[in-house]
Amino acid sequence: MDGDEPVGQDTARHGDPDPDMLIKYLPVPSSPLRASDLAYVLDAVAETGAQDVVLGLADRAEALLDTAVGFDHDLLLSTVTLLLARRGQVERAIALVDRIVPEWRAGRQAEIVGQLARYGDTGRAEALAYGITDRQAQTRALIEVVRELARRGDPERAEALAHSIAYRATRARALAVLAELSDPPRARRLAVQVMVLDDWPAALPLLERVAPRAVVTVADQADALLRDEA
């Protein structure tokens, strides 16, 4: 390496940049900095950056939101909101959701729930999911919590949450997601429950995976029924 070349440039060229060094090379707040550029930096430090560095960048992003417009504004707002949720700054993330146009807020709330669940705070994620007033967004959020509970090895809690969902179709989808991540005996039992909820499109792929003969039996019975009706 050329001795006069900055370390940050060499690191960026030969591998992933050191997240804690990125903030050093950012322009000072008074210099031009596009919101999309800062969104890129936030993505770069999201997983491995030190908490103080990440939150410092989030502070700068929130300040820049006051002057950003159009696509750059929307991109930065989305990025910093999800970053804050990922880092446990739920109240700040929710406050930023209020800056989103009303018709998009519920969807962003569901994304916050997903981030919380994926990064371990499933309890708070579940509570926030139930607070979402839009049914479709709430469905997405609850299913994400069920998925993460199952993925992290708490199938009992995941199943209890799935069964607590009031709407049959949503409950069936949540049980189907859980079945996909379960061992064969539990998956077969859950597939039956999905069928009982009258969600055959969700149940058949599960049965094909965990009980192939069941799919053949169902198909044969359906064919026989059609012949009888003819």
183-210: per-residue pLDDT in tens? 888 888 888 788 777 656 666 666 666 6
Q: Residue 31's pLDDT is what?
A: 43
**Of 164, 114, 76, 208, residue with least CA distance to 195:** 208
Task: For residue 116, give both structure tokens.
Answer: 């919380």
Rounded Cα distance, 214 and 187, in Å: 13
Can you state the percent helix, strand and coil of the chain, rounding each to 5?
Answer: 75, 0, 25
User: What's the average model confidence in pLDDT over 157-171?
Assistant: 90
Q: What is the pTM of this model?
A: 0.69
Tokens of 25: 């090379």
- CA gyration radius for the chain? 23
Provide the percentage of residues in the chain whose pLDDT is more than 90: 19
Confidence category of residue 225, pLDDT binned at 50, 70, 90: very low
pLDDT at residue 96 is higher than 50:
yes
Q: Average pLDDT of 69-84?
A: 85
